[in-house]
Structures are given as C-alpha cells and as structure tokens.
Amino acid sequence: MPLEFSKKLAAHETPIPGVVLYDLPVHGDNRGWFKENWQREKMIGLGLPDFRPVQNNISFNEKAGTTRGIHAEPWDKFISVATGRIFGAWVDLREGPSFGAVFTAELDPSQAIFIPRGVGNAFQTLEDNTAYTYLVNDHWSADAQGQYTFLNLADEAAAIAWPIPLAQAELSDKDKAHPRLGEVSPMPAKKTLVVGSDGQLGKALRKLYDGDASVEFASRPGFDLTTADSFNNRNWKNYSAIINAAAYTAVDAAETPEGREAAWAVNVSAVALLARTAVEHNLTLVHVSSDYVFDGVREVHPEDEAFTPLGVYGQTKAAGDAIVSVVPRHYIVRTSWVIGEGNNFVRTMAKLAAKGVKPSVVNDQYGRLSFTKDIAALIRHLLDTKAAFGTYNFSNDGPAKSWAEIASEVYEQSGASRDDVTGVTTEEYFADKSAAPRPLNSTLDLAKVREAGFEVVDSNERLKEYLKSDVDQL
C-alpha cells in the first residue's frame, strides 16, 4: 500500500475514551519522505494532552506477522510507525464503564495514536522490517513492570480480528500466557490527594468523596506540608491531582511575630513545596484562596483584580496565589466567609442566640457566605469536567450582606429576635483591641464559575440547611 503524502494534521476520536488517532503530514519525493512525528505545539493545539514524554522506544520487527501485546502500562504513550505497516489493537483495561472497549486500526508512517495510561496496546506487523516507535512520559524500569496489566491476544471477549491468524503469527511465550478479560484486574485510576483534610473544607471533601478509593486524605500528623521530607516519601507517579485544603486562617494572630511566621510557613512556604511537586510530576494543583487578597475598596471583585492585601494573612494568601499561578495545571478557588463543620461565625451566633446573648456585630463589612459543601462540589466539578485552568471566584449566591445582617438572620432562624443583634462599625467593634485590618467589601464576581457550568446555590437556602443540620452539635 503506497504511503499517502501531504495529508493535513488531523485528530480522530475512537470508541475508547482518551484514545485518539492522528493523521500526520508526510512530505515526500523521489528521494524518500519526511514527517514531523512529534510536534508539541501543533498537536497540543489539536487537543493532544501535554503529556511530557521523557523516553523514546523503537520496536524493530523483521518479519510480517510478528504480534506483541496486549500490555497496559502505567504511563501514556504516543505511538507511530517509523517504517512498514501494522495492525494495531487497543483494549481499555482501566477501572470504569469503558473497561473492555476495543479499537483496531491499520497504521502506516502517516498515522499516530495516543494511548492513555491503562489502555492495553498490541500490534501485528503487516510487512517485513517494520519499526514501531513510541514516546512515553515515564522512564522504563524493571520495577515498573509490576504495575503492568495484561490481556491475552486471543481473548474471546475482545474478539480481535487479527489479519494474520495467531496460530500462524510470531508470539512470545509470555504473551501467550496472559489472562482472559474475566481474570484481569483493571488498572486503578491515578489518585487525588487532599491535604489539610481535618479542616472545615477538608471535612466537606471527605463527605463528598466518601467511598471513592481514588481519593486519599492527609492531615498534618501524617503529612506535614511545611517539611520537604513529607513530599519525598510519596510515589507521585501514582497521583494526578493535589487539593490543598490546608491554610493558616487566624487573621488577627497572624499580626503577631509567632503568627506571622506560622502564616508564612503554611500559606506560602508549604504552597511552594506543593507547586514544585505539581510542576515536577505534571499534577493538577487545586488551591483555595481568600477575599483577603483584596483591600475591599471595589464593591465587587473579579478574578483578575490586582492584589491589594491589607494585613499579614491577606499578604500570605496573595503570595500563595502567585506561586500556584505558575503551575501549568492549576485551579485557584477564591472564596469568602467560609462556613462548614467547625468553629465559624454562623455557629458562634447560633450558640449566642441559644444562650440569650445580645451581641454587637460589625455592620460595615459586606460579602457573601461560602459553604464548604459547595466549595467542595465546585472543586470536584472543575476536576471532573476538566475546566480551563485558572482562578475561579466562588461564594454562595444572593445579595451582599453585612455580618450584622447575617447574624440577625441566624438569630431569627434560631428562634431568637433579630433585634437582639446590634450593628456597629468596624472601628467601633475593634476599638482598644489588637486586630488585623479587614476589607470592607468582600463580594466576589461569580460570572466565571457560572460560565464553567457550576450551579451556584443561594446563600439563604444553605444557611437554613446548615442551621437545621447543625443545631444538635452547637
């Protein structure tokens, strides 16, 4: 079969999720031919994952009928033919609904195919002196073979129609001994690691991902973000994402010498270690930011507003955001006034209402509550939908309200009187107290998160749910 010249670079989806067949432009004349076998910029522009290959392998096959596979390896592969022609067969051996899906195609030097981790790869040469070449994004080692998943070339469920019957083909004894599909243990998905899993957001993520074996949770006793050793003792090749739910959030204490040191250690130095790990291992890093990166002069804050933090806490959060922004695969979820399982403003007000206390509450700081249930759901939405990387503002929906207005609603829903809450200015409230400066306007623009397809639930609706579900624990 003659080689077709001058085809345009093109991508073709296949029945196996993530497996994509590519047409490669081949230029030739009477002397021979030339092609761009791997061209990162053009191919990424066409949708190929930026899988960062580190090793190039070539399998030379002297005779037609040589058959190899079916091997699912713990890395991604970009496969093409250097010379000759092959019949390729690919079987999805990953955990999930597409397990067992099959795709076959004939490949010559004008084609290539991307095979994600866990998809079984096999080929049969259709011409003598065929060279099969592939880029991989991890270095081969003898230890890695223990992570392979295999399938028998003659498996009845896959029912691959080999052009040259296997009885007449050249096979290795190892390939002949591989198991049938019913005996194959699917390759598990790469893991997501949640750090800071004992905080308000961490607890919400634990509930959201309960029963999902692909998500691991780490808290400080087992994974100290501030020490490099914690990062050196984990095989990051088995992970695809890190969700950073850890933060130093003691706003006022951060203004003290000890608090300043702790805030910079957790919110900046630890984030730098996370970012370096994400860059080195091509991981997605999810990081949670704060309205405190802004001075609160603007009434509504868009994602691209310049940082103008007022205090140490805001400065450390802004520094952390700047670090995370250089990670190629990152999501920064910027929130305000977080409410979840643990000590927070709503819980405090509900306790005071139950005791009959009549508090004075700040009435000139405006914003919206962000419930951890919804922050966690957004994080999962961004990861699952593979949304565009970048920064996403998030709070629950509804009009901006002052802390005093929110406290009055908590009192009313708790059976007390709204009038029990007295509004005071920030200056009056913190008179004669050592306190960090606070932004007066914390309302975040939610247009981008809506454009990403996430439904933003009204703050009042979540507040009612929270008080009903949490009342017995107050």
Amino acid sitting at position 170: E
Contacts with 7 (C-beta within 8 Å, 6 or more apart), sequence order: 23, 24, 25, 26, 110
Same-domain status, 434 and 303: yes
Question: Radius of gyration of the chain from Cα atoms?
Answer: 28
The verdict on 267 and 163 lying in the same domain is: no
Looking at the domain assignment, is residue 1 inside a domain?
Answer: no
Residue 2 lies in a domain: no
Q: In angstroms, how far apart are the furthest CA atoms of the chain?
A: 94
Residues 335 and 281 in one domain: yes
Task: Kindly write down the DSSP assignment for every residue of 23-87, as one continuous string.
Answer: E--EEEETTEEEE-S--HHHHHHTT-------EEEEEEE-STTBEEEEEE-SS-EEEEEEES-EE
4 inside domain: no
Query: Do residues 241 and 167 share a domain?
Result: no
Q: 183, 208, 224: which is the final residue of a domain?
A: 183
Q: Is 163 in the same domain as 227?
A: no
Q: Are residues 222 and 160 in the same domain?
A: no
- 69 and 138 inside one domain: yes
The answer to whether residues 210 and 287 belong to one domain is yes
**372, 329, 337: which is closest to 443 by C-alpha?**
337
- What's the distance, Cα to Cα, between the start and end of the chain in Å? 76
Instruction: Please report whether residue 285 resides in a domain.
Output: yes
Q: How far apart are alpha carbons 393 and 8 in whole angstroms?
A: 40
- Told to judge if 178 belongs to the known catalytic residues of this protein, a careful annotator would answer no
Look-up of token digits 């893991």: 191
Tally of residues, the chain: 474
Residue where one domain finishes, among candidates 159, 183, 207: 183
What is the four-CA torsion angle of 139, 142, 144, 146, rounded to 10 degrees? 170
Among 125, 160, 183, residue at a domain's last position: 183
For Cα atoms 299, 302, 307, give the angle at the middle one, nearest 5 degrees. Answer: 90
Q: Give yes or no: residues 121 and 24 share one domain.
A: yes
* Cα-Cα-Cα-Cα dihedral sign, residues 147, 153, 156, 158: positive
Whether 27 is a known active-site residue: answer no
The predicted pLDDT at position 177 comes to: 96
Q: Helix or strand or coil: residue 277? A: helix
Q: Are 64 and 127 in contact (CB under 8 A)?
A: yes
Domain contains 318: yes
Q: Quick one: pLDDT at residue 30?
A: 76
195: domain CATH number?
Answer: 3.40.50.720
For residue 322, give the H/E element and its range.
helix 312-324
Please report whether residue 3 resides in a domain.
no
Q: Catalytic residue among 22, 71, 313, 411, which?
A: 71
- Asked whether residue 77 falls in the same domain as residue 210, the answer is no
Same domain for 153 and 224, yes or no, is no
Q: Are the CB atoms for 79 and 121 separated by under 8 Å?
A: yes
Structural domain that includes position 121? 10-183
- 49 plus 139 within the same structural domain: yes
Q: Read off φ and ψ for residue 252, nearest 5 degrees.
A: -75, -40
d(CA 406, CA 363): 10
Q: What is the mean pLDDT of each run of 10 residues along the chain (474 residues)?
A: 76 96 89 89 92 93 96 95 96 96 96 96 97 92 78 97 97 96 95 94 96 91 87 90 96 96 97 96 97 97 97 97 97 97 94 96 97 98 97 97 97 95 94 91 98 97 89 52
User: At which residue do the structure tokens 């957790």 appear?
Assistant: 266
Measure Cα distances from 73 to 2, 105, 115, 162, 172 in Å: 32, 20, 10, 22, 18
Residue among 12, 22, 27, 134 flagged as catalytic: 134
Angle at 344 between CA 297 and CA 376, to 5 degrees: 85
**What tokens appear for 253 in the block?**
């204490």
- pLDDT, residue 141, reads 74
Q: What is the SS3 assignment for 240?
A: strand
Total domain count for the chain?
2
Q: What's the confidence (pLDDT) of residue 268?
A: 98
